[in-house]
């Protein structure tokens, strides 16, 4: 409901600027919503998610600073407060995606060695739909010649997303944390649907 309403508000030029202001707060609210429904909120849970947030923020900082991980890009002002050129909510976005991807493997019943492959593919698949929307609304801006782009981002962006997600999800398996959250996969599907819908409407 919230994502459908938000997609329509962003797609309509008359209300777009109003809805864009709430983008970082929507990401934060979504994360808090997920935390509320997690049943395994012990020390392992909090330390694992904190590590994912830190890793996500760190790789984004290195990406912005060097232009050699995801490709050359910079963040705009839409996503809110930034530290070293990276919005703080970006770490939250990585955390939610990895959290959901780790849960997906368990939901599908795949073996532990295969779960990082499945999760990394899920995360990268989601980014394919995020990128056009993010660029359109200037969440971030890519700097590359047209021939170096797959869709709207450099090919290395998608490769880096997959490799980073795989590495973090492999760490998830090593820690042995398993989410117990009844709304987690539903949240991811709603988020994916939100970006798919905006890709159609814009």
Please answer whether residues 184 and 55 qualify as being in contact, where contact means their C-beta atoms are separated by less than 8 angstroms.
no
CA dist 122 and 185 (Å) reads 12
d(CA 141, CA 152): 10
| Residues in contact with 191: Cβ distance below 8 Å, sequence separation at least 6, in sequence order | 3, 30, 96, 126
User: pLDDT tens for residues 67-102?
Assistant: 999 999 999 999 999 999 999 999 999 999 999 999
pTM of this structure: 0.91
Which 8-state DSSP code applies to residue 181? Answer: B
Length of the chain, in residues: 202
Angstrom distance (rounded) from CA 151 to CA 132 = 8
Measured in whole angstroms, how far is the alpha carbon of residue 191 from the centre of its chain?
10
Residue ranges of domains in the chain: 2-201
Nearest to 144, CA basis, from 195, 86, 70: 70
The pLDDT tens digits for 62-74 are 999 999 999 999 9
Q: What is the pLDDT of residues 105-148, one digit of tens each?
A: 888 888 888 999 999 999 999 999 999 999 999 999 998 765 55
């Amino acid at each position: 409901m919230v994502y459908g309403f938000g997609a329509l508000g962003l797609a309509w030029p008359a209300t777009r600027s109003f809805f864009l202001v709430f983008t970082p707060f929507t990401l934060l609210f979504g994360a808090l919503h997920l935390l509320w429904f997690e049943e395994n909120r012990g020390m392992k849970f909090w330390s694992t998610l904190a590590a994912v947030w830190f890793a996500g923020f760190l790789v984004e900082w290195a990406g912005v600073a060097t232009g050699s991980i995801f490709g050359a890009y910079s963040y705009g002002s839409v996503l809110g407060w930034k530290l070293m050129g990276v919005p703080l909510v970006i770490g939250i976005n990585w955390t939610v995606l990895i959290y959901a991807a780790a849960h997906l493997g368990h939901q599908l019943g795949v073996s532990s060695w295969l779960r990082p492959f499945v999760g990394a593919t899920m995360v990268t698949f989601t980014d394919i739909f995020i990128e056009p929307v993010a660029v359109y609304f200037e969440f971030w801006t890519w700097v590359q010649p047209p021939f170096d782009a797959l869709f709207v981002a450099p090919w290395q962006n998608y490769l880096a997303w997959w490799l980073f997600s795989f590495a973090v999800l492999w760490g998830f398996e090593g820690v042995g944390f398993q989410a117990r959250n009844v709304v987690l996969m539903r949240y991811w599907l709603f988020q994916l649907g939100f970006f798919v819908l905006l890709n159609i409407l814009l």
